[in-house]
C-alpha cells in the first residue's frame, strides 16, 4: 500500500472545499487531475475514501487519511518554524493549531490556556466550538488536532486524558423561585417554569430537567447560545438553568440567584488529541491538563458524584 502526500492532500482539499472543482481551484489543478489523484489514492488503499455528494464527505477510511494529511501539515509547519527561526511577528513561522472546545470551558478556564499557548509558542490558534458531546466529530473528520469532549471512549488514532469535571448548579433568581416554585420544585412546577437552554443540543440542561422533574416534561424554553449570556439570562430571571459553579459563584454569594435544589451535577471532561510526536501539541496538552487540575472537580470525586441522583 503506497499512500502519497499528493493523494492525501488532495483528499483534504476536496473535503475542505466541498467539491472536486473547488479542490481543483484551490490546488491550481484541473478537475480531471483531482479526480485522478483521488482514484489513485482509493486504488492504493483498496477502499472508497470520499462520498461523491454535495458537499463531498469522507468515508470512515477517508477520515483516517484526512487526519494523516493534517498531521503532515502540522509536522511540516513545525519544521518550517524551526528552520526559519522567525520572531513572534513572523506570520510565516506560525503553526496553524485547530482545536475544539465547549462554550462553558472557553468562558471559564480554557481561554487562558490558549492565550498562554499563543504567547509562548509560534502558533495561530483556531477554536471550533460545539457542545462537549459533539466535539469528537471534529477529531474524527480531521478538522482539529485536539478537543475537549465528554466522551471517554478513545477515537482511533487519538489519546484520551481525563481532565476532571465541570460542576453545574441548578439556579434561578429568588423572584423566579417565588413566582414559579412557591411550593418547591415538583413535576408541576417544572412543567410551567420557563427554562434557559444553550441550544437544541444542550443535553446537560435536558438531563437535569428530567432528573429534577422525575420524568419527561416540556416547559417553555428560552434559547441563549452563548455561555456568558446564558448565565446572565438566568440572573435576569428569564428562566432557571444549570450553570457552571465557577461562573455563578459571585451571583450566588451576592444573592442574585439561589439554588433550586441543594445538589449539583458533574459533567466529566476529556482532552482527546492525535497520537503524534509534536512538541506544540505536547505543550498544549500539558497546559490543558494543568489548568483543568486547578479549575475542575477532580476525576475521582466527579465519578462518585455522577453515580448519585441530583
pLDDT (0 to 100) of residue 221: 96
- Supply the pLDDT for residue 229: 94
CATH number of 246's domain: 3.40.190.10
Same domain for 274 and 145, yes or no, is: yes
User: Which pLDDT does position 85 carry in this prediction?
Assistant: 64
According to DSSP, residue 48 is labeled -
pLDDT < 50 regions, the chain: 302-310
In the structure grid, which three cell numbers stand for residue 115, read together? 492565550
173, 261: one domain:
yes
Please report the pLDDT score of residue 302 as a whole number. Answer: 47
Computed on alpha carbons and rounded to an integer, the radius of gyration of the chain in Å comes to: 23
Give yes or no for a contact between 280 and 78, defined as CB atoms under 8 angstroms apart: yes
Say whether both 172 and 262 belong to one domain. yes
In a 13 Å sphere around the CA of 95, the CA atoms on its Cβ side amount to: 31
Helix axes 20-27, 5-17, angle to 10 degrees: 120
Q: Are residues 147 and 275 in the same domain?
A: yes
**Does residue 309 belong to any structural domain of this protein?**
no
For residue 230, what is its C-alpha cell? 446564558
Enumerate the H helices of the chain as residue ranges: 5-17, 20-27, 31-45, 60-84, 103-105, 111-120, 136-140, 174-180, 187-192, 203-213, 227-235, 245-254, 279-295, 299-306
Residue 103 resides in a domain: yes
Question: Would 248 be classed as within a structural domain?
Answer: yes
Q: Are 97 and 117 in contact (CB under 8 A)?
A: yes
213 lies in the same domain as 145? no
What digits encode the pLDDT tens for the residues 140-187? Answer: 777 888 999 988 877 778 899 999 999 999 999 999 999 999 999 999
pLDDT at residue 240, rounded to an integer: 97
For residue 86, what pLDDT is reported?
53
Residues 73 and 87 in one domain: yes
Q: What is the CATH number of the domain that holds 16?
A: 1.10.10.10
**Are residues 149 and 232 both part of a single domain?**
no
Number of independent structural domains in the chain: 3
Instruction: Check residue 188 and give its pLDDT.
Output: 94
pLDDT of residue 303: 44
Residue 286 burial (CB < 10 Å; 0-12/13-18/19+)? exposed
pLDDT tens for each residue of 258-279:
999 988 999 999 999 988 778 8
Q: Which three cell numbers stand for residue 105?
A: 470551558
Q: 245-254 and 227-235 helices cross at what angle (nearest 10)? A: 20
pLDDT of residue 194: 97
Residue 180 lies in a domain: yes
Q: For residues 284 and 307, what is the distance between their CA atoms, to the nearest angstrom?
A: 31
C-alpha dist (Å) from residue 297 to 89, 164, 209: 38, 5, 22
- 143 and 292: one domain? yes
Residues spanned by the domain of 186: 167-266
The residues, any chain, with a CB within 8 Å of residue 243's CB and separated by 6 or more, are 168, 169, 171, 230, 231, 234, 257
pLDDT of residue 142: 75
For 54-70, the DSSP string reads SS-EE-HHHHHHHHHHH
Dihedral over Cα of 290, 132, 130, 213: its sign: negative
Q: Does residue 34 sit in the same domain as residue 99?
A: no
Amino acid at each position: 500500500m503506497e499512500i502519497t502526500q499528493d493523494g492525501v492532500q488532495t483528499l483534504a482539499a476536496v473535503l475542505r472545499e466541498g467539491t472536486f472543482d473547488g479542490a481543483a481551484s484551490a490546488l491550481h489543478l484541473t478537475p480531471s487531475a483531482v479526480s485522478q489523484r483521488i482514484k489513485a489514492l482509493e486504488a492504493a488503499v483498496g477502499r472508497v475514501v470520499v462520498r461523491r455528494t454535495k458537499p463531498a464527505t469522507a468515508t470512515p477510511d477517508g477520515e483516517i487519511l484526512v487526519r494523516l494529511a493534517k498531521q503532515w501539515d502540522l509536522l511540516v509547519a513545525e519544521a518550517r518554524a524551526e528552520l526559519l527561526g522567525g520572531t513572534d511577528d513572523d506570520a510565516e513561522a506560525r503553526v496553524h493549531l485547530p482545536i475544539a472546545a465547549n462554550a462553558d470551558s472557553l468562558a471559564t478556564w480554557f481561554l487562558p490556556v490558549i492565550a498562554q499557548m499563543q504567547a509562548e509558542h509560534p502558533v495561530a490558534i483556531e477554536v471550533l466550538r460545539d457542545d462537549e458531546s459533539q466535539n469528537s466529530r471534529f477529531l474524527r473528520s480531521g478538522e482539529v488536532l485536539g478537543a475537549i469532549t465528554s466522551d471517554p471512549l478513545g477515537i482511533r488514532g487519538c489519546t484520551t486524558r481525563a481532565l476532571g469535571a465541570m460542576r453545574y448548579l441548578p439556579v434561578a433568581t429568588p423572584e423566579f423561585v417565588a413566582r414559579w416554585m412557591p411550593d418547591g420544585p415538583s413535576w408541576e412546577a417544572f412543567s410551567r417554569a420557563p427554562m434557559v437552554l444553550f441550544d437544541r443540543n444542550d443535553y446537560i440542561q435536558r438531563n437535569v430537567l428530567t432528573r429534577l422533574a422525575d420524568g419527561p416534561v416540556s416547559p417553555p424554553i428560552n434559547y441563549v447560545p452563548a455561555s456568558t449570556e446564558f448565565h446572565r439570562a438566568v440572573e435576569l430571571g428569564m428562566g432557571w438553568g444549570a450553570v457552571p459553579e465557577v461562573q455563578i459563584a459571585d451571583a450566588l454569594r451576592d444573592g442574585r440567584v439561589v439554588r433550586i435544589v441543594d445538589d449539583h451535577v458533574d459533567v466529566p471532561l476529556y482532552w482527546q488529541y492525535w497520537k503524534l510526536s509534536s512538541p506544540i501539541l505536547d505543550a498544549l496538552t500539558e497546559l490543558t491538563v494543568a489548568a483543568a487540575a486547578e479549575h475542575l472537580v477532580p476525576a475521582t470525586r466527579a465519578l462518585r458524584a455522577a453515580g448519585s441522583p441530583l
